Amino acid sequence: MDTDHGRIRPDRGADAGCVAVQLSGVRMSATPVTEPNWLLIILSSAAVSATITVGWNFIAKLIDSHKEKKKQNHVHALIKLEIAYILERFAEDCSNTLASIEEILAEFSENHEEQSYDLKLPSISFEGEIEWKNLPVEFVAEVKDVFRDYNAVEYWMKSVWDISDHFDMWIYQKQRIALYGQRACELALKIRADIKVNARGDSMEFCKDHFELIINHYERSALKRSGKVDLIPDLRNLFIKRHPNLKKRITEEM
């Protein structure tokens, strides 16, 4: 093949389909082919595969952790709901008992005679019913404190039994049941709100209003009489917290 001013002309003497190429006297040569580094390729593939595996394992663990947490929250909610039921039953017992105590006090005020009454007082025990270890410590303390303090007032009442008459003891019992019935009621409502379960009708609201009516009565009496009114220690402390100026005025003879 001849060239004419840089143009390529086929060599008529060449075999058909074959072309000899020469550009401006420069000879073209093929670049030698380098063998691939198979070890490097294999190692790179292994690294990518390992990275993908680690990534999937991490995602799988996150999914499992989310499922486990969701399952745990479900278990916690069921236990808390059971506790709410127990608190509600206690609050209802307290409200019903208060009605009976009112009748006893009214009869005593009318007859002015001391006599014993066979009245079953509200009580509660969680022993063997709740798996406390599955619940947050702060929540367990909040629930158990209600009934620990409720029982503690009863021990205090026994300590002042010798210096109190029957009428006084029923007054203390009324205060104790109203105060801790209210705490149980409020805690039950709080638990239901926390686990997003609606309240059971208007029962707790009725009980709550009943307890507040009684507590507010004693609070007004304490304020009106400069604190000189017989109160259980827990109710006295509540009023002092609400009205710090009562601290020096509430009687210490309770």
Q: pLDDT tens digits for 182-226?
A: 999 999 999 999 999 887 778 888 999 999 999 999 999 988 887
Question: What is the band of 115 on the pLDDT scale with cuts at 50, 70, 90?
Answer: low
Q: Where are the domains of the chain?
A: 83-246
Split at pLDDT 50, 70, 90, the class of 17 is: very low
Nearest to 178 by CA among 84, 113, 79, 105: 105
Q: Are 178 and 214 in contact (CB under 8 A)?
A: yes
Instruction: HSE, CB side, 13 Å, CA atoms: give it for residue 31.
Output: 3
190-193-199-203 Cα dihedral, nearest 10 degrees: 20
CA distance linking residue 68 with residue 97, whole number of Å: 44
56-60, 71-75, 129-133, 187-191: the lowest-pLDDT one = 56-60
pTM for the whole thing?
0.70
